[in-house]
Amino acid sequence: MTVQRLFYSSRIADEHASRGAAIAREIAQASAVRNSASELTGTLAYIDGHFIQVLEGNLKQVEETFERICCDFRHRELKLLDYHTAPSRLFSEWAMASLVEEDATIGQREALSEVRVLATLNAREAIARMRQLLALQDRAVLTA
């Protein structure tokens, strides 16, 4: 079963910028609930006032959810970076993992800034890095 994978970036709306990290966590949490119902997976990063999100699932669900995201005024300057068909999910364990800069270790932060730069230049690579970060994070939690 192939999946559709969608990748975009956006900037938090000015009026929400002061509590951006909190909003990002809220969105990731609420999205995880909604996404499990529609069999969507992915991750939401929040770095330096910018959202970077991967959404994967079947075409209908991805597009419907993305359309809702496009109606959301909590963010601005939404740019679609990649939309492609992939052989399988990359984020099958996460209905919507959150990678919030404020919650990250120094090492992760650096990796996150790199993701932000990579996102516009090489979308696939940026997605792969986000996946790596999540894997490392999980291992850290397990060994802690």
Give residues in contact with another protein (CB under 8 A): 4, 6, 8, 59, 62-63, 66-67, 70-71, 73, 76, 78-80, 83, 85
Name which of another protein, ligand FMN, none residue 144 binds, using a CB cut-off of 5 to 8 Å depending on partner kind.
none
Half-sphere exposure of 91 (CA within 13 A, CB side): 30
Determine phi and psi for 30, rounding to 5 degrees: -65, -40
Residue 75 near residue 100 (C-beta atoms within 8 A): no
Name which of ligand FMN, another protein, none residue 14 binds, using a CB cut-off of 5 to 8 Å depending on partner kind.
none
Rounded CA separation 91/41 (Å): 6
| Mask for 80-99, x = binds ligand FMN (CB under 6 A) | ----------------x---
